[in-house]
Amino acid sequence: MAIEQTLSIIKPDGVAQGLIGEVIHRFEKNGLKIRALKMIQLTKTQAQAFYAVHREKGFYDSLTDFMSSGPVVVLLLEGESAIEKNRELMGATDYRKAEPGTIRADFASSIEQNIVHGSDAPPTAQTEIAFFFNHLEKF
């Protein structure tokens, strides 16, 4: 057990559905503190760079179109086991397999449009935080 930081993104579908407050409430009431936050719209090129690990996958082009289709809210979360805690609150990638009461089970509309992103491990969390936030934007 340790205090960790992780990156969350409320994806364009979550913002469009008016779920910013709902998602942030779930983070805060489950002990994840917000250390940085902003709303931005990614370009296609930026979305491709963020998801470069998936560039060989069949869903990469559609995913990066979707992620650049509207504004997103990007958050730096901190707390005890924050990476795993955030993944628990999100639920499985495929919302049909997500635990009841998770963000994806409650709100996702497809495997692609699944409301939230969350870092999957400490090294990726550090890379993803640095992708979006500089030292002046973090608290």
| 120 is an interface residue for ligand CDP by CB under 6 A | yes
Residue 105 near which of ligand CDP, Mg ion, none (CB within 5-8 Å, type-dependent): none
Identified binder of ligand CDP from the candidate list 3, 25, 44, 59, rule CB under 6 A: 59
Identified binder of ligand CDP from the candidate list 63, 89, 103, 125, rule CB under 6 A: 63
Q: Which residues contact 29 (CB under 8 A, 6 or more apart)?
A: none
Whose Cβ is closer to ligand CDP: residue 25's or residue 54's?
A: 54
Tokens of residue 40, six digits: 């931005």
The minimum distance between CB 86 and Mg ion, in angstroms, equals 11
Whose Cβ is closer to ligand CDP: residue 76's or residue 116's?
A: 116
Whose Cβ is closer to ligand CDP: residue 3's or residue 53's?
A: 53
